[in-house]
Amino acid sequence: MHSTENIASPKPPLNAMTRCMLTGVRIVVGWHFLYEGLAKLFTANWSSAGFLKQSDWLLADMFHWIVDNPAVLQAVDLLNMWGLILIGLALFIGLFTRIASVAGIILLALYYMASPAIIGGPGENIGGAHFLIVNVNIIEIMTLGLLLFIPKRVFYSIDGLIACIKERKRIAPESRNETRRSFLKDLAALPILGGFAYTLTRKKPWESFEEKTLADKIANVSAVSGASPIAASAPTLKDLKAKAPAGKIGNLNISRLICGGNLISTFAHSRDLIYVSGLLKTYFTDEKVLETLYMCESCGVNTAILRVDEHTLRIINKYKKLGGKMQWIAQCKIHGKDGNTDFNRAIDNGAVGAFVHGGVADSFVAKGKIDKLGAAVAYMKKNNLVAGIGGHMLQVPIACEKAGLDNDFYMKTLNSGNYWTAGPRLIKDSNWKPDPTKIVEPELAKSVKDNVWSTTPQQTVEFMKTVTKPWIAYKVLGAGAIHPRAGFQYAFESGADFACVGMFDFQIVEDCNILNEVLAKKLNRTRLWA
């Protein structure tokens, strides 16, 4: 006869409610890990490159080395996403809880070192939330530390279930009822896991149609550069064929492809696509802007044209503080007591160049205030900025050249007008002459809407042949209405020296590859390169 003394299943030292709460903590932390891993796994071309590149604290050199080595980065990305999934699953169901807790602490510590919540650190402000020292990584590290040292039998878990099975084999039959109850309670996490899994499968159908469309290999044209959705298999850095070539403006070495700032500023000339600006505000978080700029760096795009509003200046300074190397040319309006407010802000925040905003220059030329543009150019050059003048209308460079202004470059719109959606009414009359007293010709007024088109492309090309100053063409892709291959071909064959293009992070590699292909061809170009 078996003795039951001292061999009955020991009761956990905590009451049922406390056990339930601690089990709940383990489950929700596990679900957070699991979902983060699954989200990365099912996000096409997900990479930790942008996150690691912005590191400037402990182990920053190692993180940057990982980004600079594609094979290592790919291995790290795989370890990251599968580590999150396995740790999350183990914590969720309570299997190998202590091993999972240790692995989770190590992973979270690496996250924190890459993005610390310290003053000026990249993790101080994430997704609009502000942190100081303590962020979600620290909270979960402390939570996992607690889970690590709590006895296994305190939780309802698979670990507890295994322990129950082992105990049932060695205790007296009359003492098994209590162990059976513990056995059933340890299964509690399984229905919860099922509930989460059901919720996830309910969510996926809402995304599946879009994801299947995005993943369709036939639909390989970007939604912002054509009528079809972007392919999920967008090129990554390993697909980069060559870095963007460069030219000269003044004493500056400028990449032929310049990163435009409208998208970064969450502002879009979106033609009749009225929903685009709202989407940009959601997509271009600080982290995404930094990732985009770092991607430009890696592709040889060494210059961005950006505004001087508070939002942009804040990101520029954050980027510079994190070691960003891209140079920027400031888009400036003429306002304030002396008209130099924007130029001064550009100077104070490290701009290498500036230009008068196209709309402002259009207006000044129409009002006969060419002297204002001349004063702006003189002020920029006095402060060691390469000085430019923008313009949507052909009247601007014509008037500036006639007045003999000493600007270093022009920003002038140029594209073929071959739009797939609402586009401009082009002036095709070869005898047409621009009227310097009018910003927009009357017959074109209805076509402007919220965009300022390149309404005189052929006339612009003919006039710019007579201009020796460098020419940065913008509106080259018509806010996504023209494919980069056609847009770049037209701009550079027509005499532009540089193309300023707004780019999403997933478009930069492809745009650089297309640029190099276009420039490698024998272009029918009659204007000398700058």
Q: How far apart are CA 381 and CA 363, in angstroms?
A: 22
Res 8: pLDDT: 46
Q: How far apart are CA 338 and CA 182, in angstroms?
A: 80
Listed residue (404, 396, 390) closest to 365, CA to CA: 396
Looking at this protein, which amino acid is placed at residue 446? Answer: K
Res 29: pLDDT: 94
Res 452: pLDDT: 60
Query: Going by C-beta distance under 8 Å and a sequence separation of 6 or more, which residues neighbour residue 407?
Result: 355, 377, 387, 388, 389, 400, 469
Question: What's the angle, vertex CA 372, arms to CA 371 and CA 376, rounded to 5?
Answer: 115
Question: What's the angle, vertex CA 395, arms to CA 392 and CA 399, rounded to 5?
Answer: 125
Task: Tabulate helix, strand, coil % of the chain (nearest 5).
Answer: 50, 10, 40
What is the sign of the dihedral through the CA atoms of 243, 248, 249 and 253? positive
Which is it for strands 129-130 and 125-126: parallel, antiparallel or unpaired? antiparallel
DSSP 307: -
Q: What is the total residue count of the chain? A: 530
Per the DSSP assignment, residues forming a β-bridge with 254 are: 247
Q: How far apart are CA 483 and CA 515, in angstroms?
A: 12
What is the sign of the dihedral through the CA atoms of 154, 156, 162 and 164? positive
Q: Is residue 100 within 8 Å of residue 90, measured between CB atoms?
A: yes
**Helix, strand or coil, per DSSP, at residue 379:** helix
Instruction: Name residue, tokens 């006969």.
Output: 368
Q: How far apart are CA 295 and CA 509, in angstroms?
A: 8
pLDDT (tens, 9 = 90+) of the chain, 530 residues, equals 444 444 444 555 567 788 888 888 999 999 999 999 998 888 767 788 878 877 878 888 899 899 888 889 889 999 999 999 999 999 998 889 999 999 999 999 999 998 888 876 666 666 556 678 888 899 999 999 998 888 777 777 787 777 767 766 665 555 545 555 555 555 555 565 556 665 655 554 444 444 444 444 333 334 343 333 444 467 888 899 999 999 999 999 999 999 998 877 777 776 666 677 778 778 888 888 888 999 999 999 999 999 998 889 988 988 888 788 999 999 999 987 788 999 999 999 999 999 999 989 999 999 999 999 999 999 999 999 999 999 998 999 999 999 999 999 999 999 998 877 666 777 777 677 777 666 555 444 444 444 567 888 999 999 999 999 999 999 999 888 899 999 999 999 999 999 999 998 889 999 999 999 999 988 999 899 98
Please state, in angstroms and as integers, the Cα–Cα distance from residue 91 to each residue in 16, 32, 168, following that order. 20, 10, 24
**Could you tell me the residue ranges of all domains in the chain?**
16-206, 245-520
**Helix, strand or coil, per DSSP, at residue 42:** coil
Question: What's the angle, vertex CA 483, arms to CA 482 and CA 484, rounded to 5?
Answer: 115
Listed residue (383, 382, 385, 322) closest to 353, CA to CA: 385
Please state, in angstroms and as integers, the Cα–Cα distance from residue 522 to each residue in 472, 488, 516, 525, following that order. 20, 13, 12, 8
Res 281: pLDDT: 78
Q: Is residue 88 within 8 Å of residue 37, measured between CB atoms?
A: yes
Q: How far apart are CA 411 and CA 430, in angstroms?
A: 23
Listed residue (376, 423, 424) closest to 403, CA to CA: 376
Q: Is the pTM of this model over 0.75?
A: no
Q: Where are the beta strands (DSSP E) in 170-316?
A: 246-249, 252-255, 257-260, 303-306
Q: How far apart are CA 41 and CA 360, in angstroms?
A: 47
Task: Read off the tokens for 468.
Answer: 């020796």
> Within a 10 A sphere around the Cβ of 521, how many other Cβ atoms?
10
Phi, psi of 413 (to 5 degrees): -60, 145
Phi, psi of 188 (to 5 degrees): -60, -35
Classify each residue of 112-121 as buried b or exposed e, where b means 16 or more C-beta atoms within 10 Å of its C-beta: bbbbbbeeeb
Per the DSSP assignment, residues forming a β-bridge with 331 are: 355
Q: How far apart are CA 173 and CA 142, in angstroms?
A: 41
Q: How far apart are CA 246 and CA 352, in angstroms?
A: 16
Task: Read off the tokens for 193.
Answer: 């896991």
Q: Which CATH class is domain 245-520?
A: alpha beta
**Helix, strand or coil, per DSSP, at residue 195:** helix
